[in-house]
Amino acid sequence: MATISVRIDQELVDSARKAALSEFRTVQGQLEFWAKVGRAALDNPDLPVSFVAETLQSMAEPRELATPFVPRSKKAK
C-alpha cells in the first residue's frame, strides 16, 4: 500500500492517539479506522454509526478468534 503525507489538525491527532491506546491501534491505524467508519456511515445513512463501527471491527477480527453464532433456540436451558 502506498503512503502519503497529509496535514491533520493536531487536536484530531491527539484524540486519535488517546483512542489508539485503548483500542490497541497505532495513531495511523486509528485515523484509518475513523475514516473507514465515516465512509461506511455515509454510504449507509440508515444504520447507526455504532453498528457500522462494530461491524468493521468484527470484519477485521481473525476468524480463529471469532465467537461462533449460536441461535437462542439452540442454547441449553
Q: What's the pLDDT tens digit per position in 48-72?
A: 999 998 888 888 777 787 778 888 8
Residue 48 lies in a domain: yes
> Which pLDDT does position 73 carry in this prediction?
82
Q: Cβ atoms within 10 A of the Cβ of 52, count?
A: 19
> Which pLDDT does position 77 carry in this prediction?
54
| Overall domain count for the chain | 1
* DSSP code for 64: G
Residue 70 lies in a domain: no
Residue 34 lies in a domain: yes
Residue 74 pLDDT > 70: no
Read off the pLDDT of residues 21-49 as tens digits, 9 standing for 90 and up: 998 899 999 999 999 999 999 999 999 99
Residue 15 lies in a domain: yes
* DSSP code for 47: S
Residue 24 lies in a domain: yes
Range of the domain at 24: 11-59
